[in-house]
Structure 1
Amino acid sequence: MATIYISLGTNIEPHKHLGAGLVELQQYFGKLALSRVFESEPVGFNGTNFLNMVAAAQTELPIAEVVAIFKQIEQDNGRIRGEKKFSPRSLDIDLLLYDDVICELPVSLPRGEILYNAFVLWPMAEVAPELTHPIAGKTYAQLWHEYDKPSQQLWPVEFTFPEQLTL
């Protein structure tokens, strides 16, 4: 059984899509461990703020199948393939870690943005503070402590999780 860490982000009807995405993730992967929900300014373009968070789950599925499920959940929530990299998103779900696997295919793991985006690193440090990044060799708590926090604006927000979600 592998432990996976999942980044979720949205800035189009964010409460609706984040809630729906979590419910679908739970249907596929069972109980989820969740960070708080954070609001952040968009990175790389001007637009409305994002809601972001990290979830952890257990799976026996291979990486490629996990990623295919994420793409289906994104599509179920109105995500259009082929959008510009830096643009509004109804729902963006990324595999951050699959145990301590380091690979480039079928996706790059660990996902590079863990180390560079506050909206991934802070919630990751909440969900798995003592877990060690497989390349950086530091815990997520250490990485967040050392992060240049003024470089990206990010703050926790209240979020009402869907009733169907088992917390």
Structure 2
Amino acid sequence: MAHHVILISIGSNIERERYTRQSVVALKQHFSNVTVSSVYESEAVGFNGNPFYNLVARAETDMSVDDVCNILKTIEKENGRVHSAKKFCARTLDLDLLTFDDRVINEPVVLPRDEITFNAFVLWPLAELVPNDIHPVTKQSYAQMWQAFDKQKQQLWPIDFTWS
């Protein structure tokens, strides 16, 4: 079986502590060697809402991209996520597959996810968790990408998060 490395962004702005904890518990049930970045608090982007908690998880799996995406959707649903027509809205839990090995694909999802290059709440945790990993398209490390990022665009800050 092929062994794949996946990076997943995690976000929550409804009962953030609860769902942030739940997400990692759930990821550990489905994937192996799960590690996570610090938790960051950021202002809601694209709509007026409560601040988000964001972090990035790295995990390993033998599943296909399709199966990983389905698992992430299932975890969201199990944690009260309601998928509405509105792209920007409050949510209990948002899990997005950021990368799957070094694949560059458009189906069943776009990988690597565009957000990596323009959202501080994705790039900063990546730069912290896997600083030397290379982005499959920019060919830069996440640390280099974060260093070059315009940090005035979005406000976010690492927080002390209690996992238990």
With normalisation by structure 1, the TM-score equals 0.95
Q: Over residues 34-71 of structure 1, what are the superposed CA-to-partner deviations in whole Å (9 max), with x where a residue is unaligned?
A: 10000000000111100000000000100000000000
Q: Distance in 1 between matches of 2:15 and 2:152?
A: 27
Task: Give the aligned partner of residue 43 of structure 2.
Answer: 41
Equivalences, count: 162
Is there any run of 5+ residues in structure 1 with no aligned partner, and where?
A: 163-167
For 2:118, what is the secondary structure of its paired residue?
coil
How far did 1:83 drift?
A: 4.1
Partner of 1:131: 133
1:136 CA displacement: 0.6
Q: Find the counterpart in structure 1 of residue 122 from structure 2.
A: 120
Q: CA deviation at 1:137?
A: 1.1
RMSD: 0.7
1:70 aligns with 2:72: yes
TM-score normalized with structure 2 length = 0.97
Q: Which consecutive unaligned segments of at least 5 residues does structure 2 have?
A: none
Deviations 1:7-42 (A, max 9, x none): 000000000011011100001013311100000000
1:89 to 88, 91, 112: 91
Q: How does 1:1-167 map to 2 (within 5 A)?
A: 1-162=3-164
**Runs of at least 4 residues off by over 3 Å:** none
Equivalent-residue separation in structure 2 for 1:114 and 1:98 (angstroms): 13
Aligned residue number for residue 165 of structure 1 = none
1:82 Cα deviation (Å)? 2.5
Q: 2:82 is matched by which residue type in structure 1?
A: I
